[in-house]
Amino acid sequence: MEWQIVNTLASVVSALAIVAGTIFVVYQLRQESKDREFAVGSSLFEIWQSRDFQDDQLLLLHKLPVQTWDDFVAMGRGSELERAFRRVAGFYDRVGHLIVTGIIDQNHILPTIGADALAVWQRIEPLVRQARRTENPTLFQCYEAVLPSCIECAAPLLANQKKITSADSLPNGKQTTDEVERISVHELKRMIDAGTVAVLDVNTKPKAEKIIGALRAEPNELSGWLSILPRDKPVVVYCS
């Protein structure tokens, strides 16, 4: 009998040790993931804030003299402008890749750099699309993939002082933050039925549930997103 008790206790202790070990390993992995994300995010911010990067970004924003890829190439390969084009757009493309693959959380970086990413894309979009047809069909695809999320983060700026709200998935009434007012799904339905609001769908998942009547840019490009923002109604942004 005593040996049975000892064996039972040993089995229990062994099981507890396995559980404890598993919990410890999971904790370590999560901590390593957080540490990795912090390190990657810090490196990205350091690059984005550097003088060289900001100079190249300002060059694209204010001194890009051409709108076609042929004219851009004709200015000379390896020029200062081409370096700025590849460096800045390549940086945002890398950020997009890290977000798409889940290495970093978009909410930790896009609120800071999203508006600049949108402004740069608006300037270089014609060049990128023409370059895809003639040289590289996958050029800066990850950059373009995160544009809807950039728009969501920069929505208060793009709306030009219009009131913008965000539909909350929990029916717990209004919640407010410093920048975006959240509303319940029930209130959103009342506003849609009354025709007093425009709904902007910024989902990045191809099979995400859709709100009937929501506006979504097709194709998924900055000019399309900007063109669908109404000027006579408040805008509700949602992402499921």
Q: What is the pLDDT along the chain (240 residues), one digit of tens a residue?
A: 566 665 666 666 666 666 666 665 555 555 566 667 778 888 999 999 999 999 999 999 999 888 889 999 888 888 899 999 999 999 999 999 999 888 888 888 888 898 899 889 989 999 999 999 999 999 999 999 998 888 777 654 444 434 444 554 434 444 444 455 677 777 888 888 877 888 877 776 656 667 777 777 665 555 566 666 666 778 787 776
Residue 179 phi, psi dihedral angles, 5° rounding: -115, -40
Which of 79, 96, 87, 102 has the alpha carbon at shortest distance from 33?
102
For residue 131, the model assigns a pLDDT of 92
Residues contacting residue 220 through CB under 8 Å, at least 6 positions apart: 144, 145, 147, 148
Two structure tokens written together for 63: 């001194």
Counting beta carbons within 10 angstroms of the beta carbon of residue 181, is it exposed (0 to 12), middle (13 to 18) or buried (19 or more)?
Answer: middle
Angle (nearest 5°) at CA 217 between 214 and 218: 120
Angle (nearest 5°) at CA 123 between 114 and 137: 90
Residue 132 CB coordination number (10 Å) = 15
- C-alpha distances in Å from residue 222, one per residue of 49, 76, 80, 205, 216: 24, 27, 25, 17, 11
Where do the domains of the chain lie?
2-145, 154-238
Q: Determine the Cα–Cα distance for residues 164 and 202; give it in Å rounded to an integer.
A: 14
